Amino acid sequence: MPSLFDPIRIGAIECANRIFMSPLTRSRGTRDHVPTPLMVEYYRQRANAGLIISEATGVSQQGLGTPFAPGIWNDQQIAAWCPITSAVHAAGGRIICQLWHMGRVVHSDFLGGQPPVSSSAIAAPGDARTYDGNKSNVTPRALAASEIPGLVADFAQGARNAIAAGFDGVQLHAANGYLLDQFLRDSCNKRTDAYGGSPVNRVRLLREITEAIAATVGPERTAIRVSPLIPMLGCQDSAAEEVFLCVADTMSRIGIAFLEVREPAPNVRPDNAPLIATQIKTRFRGPMVLNTGYDRADAMAAVANGSADAITFGKPYIANPDLAERLSKNVPLATVNVTTLYSPGPVGYVDYPRYASMPGL
């Protein structure tokens, strides 16, 4: 029976354990979306994870509307990621880059006043973040079919750049209501061309981008993340099961390194909550990684009973830089300070203590 603490090979990547760090936007880059030296220390501290998935990282300015979030589209950004990946490798860890396009939730302030792009011209509910505080989401323009090859090329270039920056692979962000989710879901995709309508059509953009990335860096270094039943930023589906089983089949054919699914863990799942990960697992021929609300017991059970090959931890990895060691020794976990999640500087970022260095031990 596999254990959470066993090593695992995920595609081309050898991971020392199955406790992975989830992608976490922390907004400690520069205003020009370049990673900073502070980020070297943050990721180095967390190299005990079997695999680190980096914070969401923009593949283009068109797709990045989060203040101080990093990108991977220019040479300065690539150069600034290099010390981060080297530090993680030197500490024995592995790290892949989460590639991001935010679509309609990029505020036009980031785009010289131009509207953002999406599957259809429908504004997301709520606010977008800008350097001048939160502002209402603006109505995007629908991407023309003729623009799709350029978008696919941006992602392929992002993947190439990530490998040049020393990452072990990439994860395509197709979760949480961003551009790819805006194509997958019928609440926001109202297209009548080959990229809208049937599940196969709505999965087409994700397929084309994944194929392009796999052709660039190898399927064994390509992963994706989805959040089928977690409605975010106005993205949800009247038939999520059909769409995400189609995603699972498509990803099996491409032969990606792993598929990560967000679905609440048993300890945080409301009674009778609909589930989809189990069905995806029966259709996806490759390692599957689960996330959201996992504690030690749920994570150990999920790996032992075969529902997951590894678990990603988000908030626990923010507050416990040595999370894999703490889980393996079964010692208490610290909780996250939500006021410093996106604040500038080291506080609440690189100052969470390791368990062994806590006073009184």
Ligand X SMILES: Cc1cc2nc3c(=O)[nH]c(=O)nc-3n(C[C@H](O)[C@H](O)[C@H](O)COP(=O)(O)O)c2cc1C
Interaction site with ligand X (CB under 6 A): 22-25, 55-56, 98, 173, 175-176, 225, 262, 291-294, 313-316, 341
Active-site residue among 42, 43, 178, 294? 178
Q: How far apart are CA 107 and CA 115, in angstroms?
A: 7
C-beta separation of 20 from 311 below 8 A? yes
CB of 223 to ligand X, least distance (A): 11
Give the nearer residue to ligand X in terms of CB position, either 55 or 154. 55
The letter for the amino acid at 244 is F
Give the nearer residue to ligand X in terms of CB position, either 142 or 288. 288
C-beta separation of 95 from 83 below 8 A? no
C-beta separation of 149 from 174 below 8 A? no
Residues 6+ apart with CB under 8 A from 353: 321, 334
CB of 105 to ligand X, least distance (A): 13
Residues 6+ apart with CB under 8 A from 332: 326, 355
Distances (CA, A) of 212 to 113, 118, 207, 208, 351: 30, 20, 8, 6, 39
Cβ-closest residue to ligand X?
314
C-beta separation of 109 from 135 below 8 A? yes
Give the nearer residue to ligand X in terms of CB position, either 142 or 256. 256
CB of 309 to ligand X, least distance (A): 17
CB of 258 to ligand X, least distance (A): 14
Do the bridges between strand 127-130 and strand 133-136 make them parallel or antiparallel, or are there none, so unpaired? antiparallel
Give the nearer residue to ligand X in terms of CB position, either 237 or 263. 263
Residue 355 annotated to the active site: no
CB of 336 to ligand X, least distance (A): 7
C-beta separation of 95 from 84 below 8 A? yes
Give the nearer residue to ligand X in terms of CB position, either 119 or 312. 312
Q: How far apart are CA 274 and CA 250, in angstroms?
A: 23
Handedness of CA 218, 308, 298, 294 (dihedral sign): positive
Residue 314: helix, strand or coil by DSSP?
coil
Here the tokens at position 227 are 């959040």
CB of 145 to ligand X, least distance (A): 27
- Helices and strands, counts by H and E, the chain: 10, 14
Here the tokens at position 183 are 């194509």
Give the nearer residue to ligand X in terms of CB position, either 11 or 293. 293
Report the catalytic residues: 178
